């Protein structure tokens, strides 16, 4: 009977308050006008349906906004607490409603955040930050970070946003009025370093290495295509400053498999000081796996263009200096060393005239020679040579050939008499440094070792002198006979 009495009281209250909502209380007050159900008590609470996770997931066709309390902890990602069915047709836990305190991150900030709290995930899922429903920053579960990219390929991957152009990926502006500002400071101990440069009194990037455990370069720049590995531009100072203080190793290493390793422009395009160094001031090591036999690959390629009124334009100037009177000073030294099975190459090849001030010496020490034999019948061979006068086809062949009348021999004619003094040469193709277009193709031609003719001429003169001496002897004998006959 007690239960029936309570039911009658409830129905009475419901009927009284039906016009503006249902009120459940023990005071007889009407429901609040904005509430469909108004439960009021100072000693009891409102208890919603309680169920396990399996039971929650088994609720048939849950309505958006349906709310239950989950009583078990079957999964790490779905603990005990209040859940509601959201507009995306998924059950969502209400933050902070479980047994463990889970305070939400507020839009206006949190205070007193414990060190164990964090913004992120507790499982193997990636964490994303988005604007306009587009991922702007991606924190991968493995720790890698991507900005404007879902295809991160390193610890930090940055790509420009779609629709942006001429915008740097990273821009650092230091507006502080400091004497020596530092834009970035990398102190990676024994790890390989990445990039460095100078600007005024300060450094755009300051890279320091503590420790001696790494053999990696302090600065490594790799580029493909036509772009420069390092581009430095400064009106009155150094575009790029590279300094190596180690007793061995390199101040800078520049590799460019498909483009320009270093492009230097300026009044003094490059100034290299190696004071006190026992190593080369500049060491160029070039390797190529090209299979094109006509390819032109230069270790150092110097292009000079005169647009002013200067009298001389010199591609390479060498001025060796030494206070040691016994020092051997060499301006330019070339020593081709072909690999196993290779053919020896030329030390020097050029188009145009060559002038030297001083003597020309050719290696001729007995200790570097073998199969030494006297030359024979040189005079008869010399007599077969046909000296000629000629002019070069300067319009047809772009080899910087002289335009004046020449005196000399024809290589094909010399080849039939002295084949060892004639060699086939190859003029490499001329390639435009900027466009890589072929200006002139490769050409083969014969050349004469005129210096090698000197011993032949000497041997011919000796043979001729021997003939002259023999004729003189015969003439003297004839004169003696004539005198004797005349005296009789």
Per-residue confidence band for 287, with pLDDT thresholds at 50, 70 and 90: confident
**Cα 430 to Cα 295, 419, 437, 474, distances in angstroms:** 10, 29, 9, 63
- The tens digit of pLDDT for each residue in 384-393 reads 999 999 999 9
- The neighbouring-strand residues paired with 24 are 39
CB 228, CB 263: distance < 8 Å: yes
In angstroms, what is the C-alpha Rg of the chain? 47
pLDDT of residue 224: 62
Which of 47, 101, 92, 54 lies closest to 73, judged by CA?
A: 54
pLDDT of residue 200: 40
- The tens digit of pLDDT for each residue in 346-397 reads 778 888 788 888 888 888 899 999 999 998 889 999 999 999 999 999 888 8
Indicate the range of 62-76, 170-184, 390-404 predicted with least confidence: 170-184
pLDDT at 343 over 70: no
Q: Catalogue all structural domains in the chain, each as residue range(s) with its CATH number.
A: 118-162 (no CATH), 175-221 (no CATH), 374-466 (1.10.10.10)
CB 297, CB 308: distance < 8 Å: no
294 CB-contact burial (10 Å; exposed 0-12 / middle 13-18 / buried 19+): exposed
CB 82, CB 93: distance < 8 Å: yes
Q: How many residues does the chain have?
A: 488
pLDDT at 193 over 50: no
Classified as helix, coil or strand, 4 is: helix
User: 70: how many CB neighbours lie within 10 A of its CB?
Assistant: 24
Per-residue confidence band for 417, with pLDDT thresholds at 50, 70 and 90: very high
Mean pLDDT, residues 447-473: 93
Q: What is the pTM of this model?
A: 0.48
Torsion of CA 109, 111, 116, 122, to 10 degrees: -30
Classified as helix, coil or strand, 367 is: helix
Helices (H) and strands (E) in the chain, counts: 5, 23
pLDDT at 471 over 90: yes
CB 143, CB 156: distance < 8 Å: no
CB 209, CB 189: distance < 8 Å: yes
- The neighbouring-strand residues paired with 257 are none
- The neighbouring-strand residues paired with 93 are 83
């Amino acid at each position: 009977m007690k239960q029936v009495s309570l039911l009658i009281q409830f129905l009475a209250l419901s009927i009284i308050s039906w016009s503006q909502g249902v009120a459940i209380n023990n005071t007889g007050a009407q429901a609040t006008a904005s509430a469909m159900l108004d439960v009021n008590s100072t000693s009891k609470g409102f208890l919603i349906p309680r169920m396990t996770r399996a039971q929650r997931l088994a609720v048939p066709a849950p309505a958006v906004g349906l709310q239950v309390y989950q009583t078990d902890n079957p999964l790490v990602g779905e603990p005990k607490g209040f859940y509601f069915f959201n507009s995306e047709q998924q059950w969502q836990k209400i933050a902070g409603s479980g047994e463990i305190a889970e305070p939400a991150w507020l839009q206006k900030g949190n205070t007193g955040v414990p060190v164990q709290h964090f913004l992120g995930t507790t499982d193997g899922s990636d964490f994303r930050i988005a604007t306009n429903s587009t991922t702007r920053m991606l924190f991968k579960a493995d720790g890698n970070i991507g900005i404007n990219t879902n295809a991160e390929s390193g610890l930090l991957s940055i790509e420009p946003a779609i629709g942006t152009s001429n915008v740097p990926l990273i821009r650092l502006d230091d507006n502080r009025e400091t004497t020596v500002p530092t834009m970035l400071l990398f102190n990676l101990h024994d790890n390989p370093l990445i990039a460095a440069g100078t600007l005024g009194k300060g450094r755009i990037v300051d890279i320091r290495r503590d420790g001696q455990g790494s053999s990696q370069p302090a600065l490594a720049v790799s580029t493909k295509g036509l772009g420069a590995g390092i581009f430095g531009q400064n009106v009155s100072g150094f575009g790029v400053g590279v300094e190596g203080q180690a007793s061995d190793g390199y101040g800078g290493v520049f590799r460019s498999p498909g483009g320009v390793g270093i492009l230097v422009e300026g009044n003094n395009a490059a100034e290299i000081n190696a004071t006190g160094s026992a190593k080369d001031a500049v060491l160029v090591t070039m390797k190529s796996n090209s299979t094109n036999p006509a390819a032109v690959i230069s270790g150092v390629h110097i292009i000079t263009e005169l647009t002013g009124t200067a009298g001389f334009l010199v591609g390479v100037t060498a001025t060796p200096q030494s206070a040691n009177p016994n020092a051997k000073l060499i301006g330019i030294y070339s020593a081709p060393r072909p690999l196993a099975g290779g053919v020896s190459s030329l030390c020097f090849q050029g188009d145009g005239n060559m002038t030297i001030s001083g003597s020309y010496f050719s290696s001729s020490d007995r200790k570097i020679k073998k199969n030494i034999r006297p030359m024979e019948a040189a005079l008869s061979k010399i007599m077969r040579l046909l000296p000629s006068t000629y002019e070069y086809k300067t319009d047809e062949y772009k080899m910087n050939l002289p335009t004046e009348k020449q005196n000399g021999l024809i290589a094909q004619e010399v080849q039939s008499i002295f084949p060892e003094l004639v060699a086939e040469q190859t003029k490499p193709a001329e390639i435009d440094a900027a466009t890589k277009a072929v200006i002139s193709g490769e050409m083969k031609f014969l050349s004469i070792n005129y210096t090698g003719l000197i011993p032949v001429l000497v041997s011919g003169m000796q043979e001729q002198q021997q003939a002259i001496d023999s004729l003189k002897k015969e003439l003297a004998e004839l004169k003696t006979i004539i005198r004797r006959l005349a005296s009789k």
